């Protein structure tokens, strides 16, 4: 090997090691900023109020107590030094989803978001409401008009705070288009307003630019890179990233065209970045407090906006690019600000720039630090997809919680990960409420605090019924009657179809029927609950027409043409089939009923007996 090749190899290895450290700095910096800023956050619910919230800035975590629970069932939640909030919980949930490759969206909607309310700490209303919609497999842009309007009005920073893993997962891409599309698709899972979505996009681009930047970052370089990036201002690209049904629901709910709304929000974002850029141009004379006030960071009515938080985090990371500890302290100890999210996003950018060494003093006592570091390595090192075979061990969060409370003998988490330990403790027993806390640690190193809250019946000094239930943070929850195990309904988590040729079946469902399949080379999913696996000697499923799969499509003519072109077997229609419907056989003889989704008869799909 010649000298030039050897030098290139050494440079490549050095770059690889540097990128691993900076990816670690990204996630650890986010979690550390979250834990450091959480007690000071204006809506933290800290016991002691404003006096307890205001404390001198220091690079050390503190233990504190916060009020948790519903209005008439409040109890004190003890937060240990270094424990993080919902910001990091959702960041880690996104990271786990990204490890599932092309199936990341399904993993978020089927597993992570439905389960998150079970262990959330400090979660916002918009995300909680959306996650409860996903628990019933209903997108939050569907449902009662009031809830849909609230969803499309949600413009907070709940998107921006969790999307950094997408930047790591797409870092090898030559352009940022896929990153932007992923962030938008992730964003609409919980928020519908362009402020939340655009804030997430701009912040994700800042993360990507910081990770790809080599050498010292010039003062203001990050802001220049973002303002010169055209893709986030492209309303057409944003619109093309969303499902048509989402765009239709947006315009129906907001009475505004999406393109107009996006362009108006783009102008808001430009104005915010201009404020930040003007301040940085004053260099040492920059007035941080004045700049952050102009950005809106001290206005309680709008400082949680996705656009404002993204602009403020980019400003602080640029301002303190050579003094990362100072930047983290400034963001975590701002008075009257959304400090946990701002510090998390600022700490992530500074960690992506400087790596993890400057965080050593904090990371030693940071909750789940080894697990967070392992996630960062998995996202950047090998890009291998996790097997989704664990879906066979998944259960619904509610069913899992019932098992935890009734037996405390649950070997796996609701997502299928093995559990290392479970510790049970009483938090509060009063005439109003009983709270039992479960501290669950998975074998891969994540710790979860899960509270089972049982509200006693009015006027009673003892509980009349105990029931495992999803934690609530609003006064809308109602006590449920106890159910005996034999009367509890079971829940189907997966229907498995065994096929003789997995590749041929994947082609049929993907190319012929136009279904967006997700999975690995060992299996794929044609819906959140239906998995297609290769037949083995142990497969027991019978061959033939006993299984019918209904596929709703807005393009029945295209499917008919593909069926005719490739000689797909067609069977006789049923007596209630409508024009445009079609019955075909998949490669293993399973009946597939193709039903036009835009038909006026779309709600009257016939059964397999028709």
287-298, pLDDT tens digit by residue?
889 999 999 999
Decide if pLDDT at 6 tops 50. Answer: no
Of 318-327, 526-535, 555-564, 579-588, the one with minimum mean pLDDT is 526-535
Q: How far is CA 537 from the centre of its chain?
A: 38
Per mean pLDDT, which range of 417-431, 462-476, 517-531, 586-600 is the poorest? 462-476
Residue 241 token pair: 């990233």
DSSP E strand stretches across 347-416: none
**Would you list the DSSP string of 61-124?**
---EEEEES-TTS-EEEEE-TT---HHHHHHHHHHHHHTTGGGHHHHIIIIIHHHHHHH-SS--
Main-chain phi, psi angles of 558, to 5 degrees: -65, -45
Longest dimension (CA), the chain: 85
Say if residues 572 and 566 touch (Cβ distance below 8 Å): no
Q: Is the pLDDT of residue 476 over 70?
A: no
Residue that wins the pLDDT comparison between 426 and 271: 271
pLDDT at 402: 86
pLDDT in the model for residue 457: 59
Residue 602 is predicted with a pLDDT of 41
pLDDT of residue 390: 47
- Residue 328: which residues within 8 A CB-CB, separation 6 or more? 29, 32, 33, 36, 59, 343, 346, 347, 350
Range in 140-154, 369-383, 584-598 the model is least confident about: 584-598
- Whether the CB-CB separation of 353 and 217 falls below 8 Å is answered with yes
Contact criterion met (CB below 8 Å) for 585 and 539: no
Give the pLDDT of residue 393.
53
Q: What are phi and psi of 165, to 5 degrees?
A: -55, -30
Predicted pLDDT at 600: 46
Angle (CA) 513-515-519 rounded to 5° is 130
pLDDT bracket for residue 532 (50, 70, 90): confident
Report whether 487 contacts 495 (CB < 8 A).
no
- Domain 495-596 is in which class? alpha beta
Q: What value does the CA radius of gyration of the chain take, rounded to a whole number of Å?
A: 26
pLDDT at 126 over 70: yes
Just give the CATH number of 3-37+140-380.
Answer: 1.10.4080.10
C-alpha dist (Å) from residue 103 to 111, 116, 187, 311, 385 = 12, 19, 16, 31, 9
pLDDT of 334 over the 80 cut: yes
Tens of pLDDT along 149-206? Answer: 999 999 999 999 999 999 999 999 999 999 999 999 999 999 999 999 999 999 999 9
Which of 586, 136, 162, 170 lies closest to 397 in space, CA to CA? 136
CA dihedral 276, 281, 285, 290 (to 10 degrees): -20
Q: Which H/E stretch holds residue 429?
A: strand 419-429
d(CA 350, CA 335): 21
Range(s) of the chain covered by CATH 1.10.4080.10:
3-37+140-380
CATH 3.10.180.10 intervals, the chain: 495-596
Fill in the DSSP letter of residue 170. T
Which residues make beta-bridge pairs with 451?
Answer: 437
The more confidently predicted of residues 126 and 476 is: 126
Q: Is the pLDDT of residue 373 over 90?
A: yes
Model confidence pLDDT, tens digit, residues 562-594: 898 898 999 988 777 788 889 899 888 888 888
438, two tokens: 């479960």
Beta-carbon contacts of 214 under 8 Å, excluding residues fewer than 6 positions away, are 15
Q: Give the range among 11-20, 263-272, 373-382 with minimum mean pLDDT.
A: 11-20
Q: Label residue 5 by pLDDT band (50, 70, 90).
A: low
Summarised one tens digit per residue, pLDDT across range 80-96 is 999 999 999 999 999 99
Q: Which two tokens stand for residue 282?
A: 């004053």
Neighbouring residues of 478: CB distance < 8 A, sequence distance ≥ 6: none
Pairwise CA distance, residues 469 & 450, whole Å: 11
Q: pLDDT category, 383, cuts 50, 70, 90?
A: very low
Mean of all residue pLDDT scores within the chain? 84
Q: Which long-range contacts (CB under 8 A, 24 or more apart) does 384-387 make?
A: 385/99, 385/100, 385/101, 385/102, 385/103, 385/520, 386/99, 386/100, 387/520, 387/522
* Tens of pLDDT, residues 391-416: 445 678 888 988 888 876 789 999 98
Percent of the chain with pLDDT over 90: 55
User: In this predicted structure, what is the pLDDT of residue 214?
Assistant: 84
Q: Is the dihedral of CA 388, 393, 396, 401 positive or negative?
A: negative
Q: What is the pLDDT of residues 344-361, one digit of tens each?
A: 999 999 999 999 999 999
Please state, as a whole number, how many other Cβ atoms lie within 10 Å of the Cβ of residue 8.
12
Q: Two tokens at 140?
A: 């939050």
- Listed residue (102, 232, 247, 107) closest to 160, CA to CA: 232
Cβ–Cβ under 8 Å, residues 453 and 433: yes
pLDDT digits (tens, 9 = 90+) for 483-516: 333 333 344 445 668 788 888 888 888 888 888 7
Minimum mean pLDDT range among 13-27, 371-385, 411-425: 371-385
pLDDT at 539 over 80: no
């Amino acid at each position: 090997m010649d000298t030039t090749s050897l030098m290139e190899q050494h440079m490549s290895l050095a770059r690889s090691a540097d990128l691993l450290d900076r990816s670690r700095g990204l996630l650890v910096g986010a979690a550390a900023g979250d834990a450091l800023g959480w007690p000071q956050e204006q809506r933290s619910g800290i016991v002691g109020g404003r006096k307890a919230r205001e404390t001198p800035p220091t690079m050390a975590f503190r233990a504190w107590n916060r009020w948790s629970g519903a209005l008439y069932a409040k109890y004190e939640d003890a937060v240990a030094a270094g424990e993080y909030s919902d910001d990091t919980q959702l960041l880690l949930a996104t990271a786990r989803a990204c490890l599932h490759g092309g199936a990341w969206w399904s993993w978020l909607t089927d597993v992570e978001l439905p389960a998150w309310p079970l262990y959330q700490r400090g979660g916002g209303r918009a995300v909680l409401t959306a996650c409860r919609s996903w628990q019933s497999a209903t997108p939050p842009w569907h449902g009662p008009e009031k809830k849909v309007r609230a969803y499309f009005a949600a413009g907070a920073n709940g998107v921006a705070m969790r999307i950094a893993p997408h930047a790591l997962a797409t870092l090898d891409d030559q352009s940022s288009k896929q990153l932007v599309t992923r962030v938008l698709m992730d964003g609409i899972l919980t928020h519908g307003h362009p402020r939340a979505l655009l804030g997430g996009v701009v912040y994700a681009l800042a993360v990507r630019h910081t990770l790809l930047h080599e050498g010292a970052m010039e003062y203001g370089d990050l802001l220049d890179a973002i303002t010169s990036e055209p893709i986030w201002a492209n309303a057409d690209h944003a619109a093309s990233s969303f499902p048509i049904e989402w765009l239709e629901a947006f315009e129906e709910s907001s009475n505004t065209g999406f393109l107009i709304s996006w362009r108006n929000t783009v102008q808001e974002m430009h104005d915010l970045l201009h404020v930040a850029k003007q301040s940085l141009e004053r260099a040492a004379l920059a007035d941080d407090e004045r700049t952050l006030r102009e950005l809106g960071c001290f206005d309680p009515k709008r400082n949680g906006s996705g656009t404002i938080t993204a602009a403020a985090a980019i400003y602080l990371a640029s301002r303190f690019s050579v003094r990362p500890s100072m930047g983290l302290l400034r963001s975590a100890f701002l008075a009257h600000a959304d400090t946990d999210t701002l510090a998390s996003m600022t700490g992530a950018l500074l960690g992506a720039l400087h790596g993890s060494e400057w965080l050593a003093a904090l990371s030693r006592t940071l909750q789940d630090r080894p697990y967070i570091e392992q996630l960062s390595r998995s996202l950047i090192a090998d890009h291998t997809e996790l097997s989704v075979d664990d879906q066979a061990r998944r259960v619904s969060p509610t069913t899992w919680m019932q098992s935890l409370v009734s037996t405390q003998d649950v070997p796996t988490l609701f997502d299928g990960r093995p559990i290392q330990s479970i510790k049970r403790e009483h938090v509060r027993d009063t005439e109003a409420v009983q709270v039992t806390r479960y501290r669950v640690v998975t074998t891969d190193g994540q710790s979860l605090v899960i509270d089972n809250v049982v509200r006693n019946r009015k006027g009673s000094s003892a509980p009349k019924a105990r029931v495992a239930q999803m934690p609530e943070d609003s006064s809308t929850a109602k006590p449920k009657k106890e159910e005996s195990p034999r009367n509890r309904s079971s829940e189907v988590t997966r229907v498995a179809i065994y096929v003789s040729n997995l590749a041929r079946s994947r082609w049929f469902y993907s190319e012929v029927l136009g279904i967006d399949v997700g999975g690995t080379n060992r299996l794929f999913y044609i819906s959140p609950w239906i998995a297609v696996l290769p037949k083995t000697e142990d497969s027991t499923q019978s061959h033939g027409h006993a299984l019918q799969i209904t596929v709703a499509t807005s393009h029945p003519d295209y499917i008919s043409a593909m069926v005719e072109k490739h000689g797909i077997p067609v069977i006789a229609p049923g007596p209630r089939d409508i024009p445009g419907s079609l019955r075909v056989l998949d490669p293993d003889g399973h009946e597939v009923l193709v039903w036009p989704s835009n038909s006026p008869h779309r709600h009257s799909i016939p059964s397999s007996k028709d």
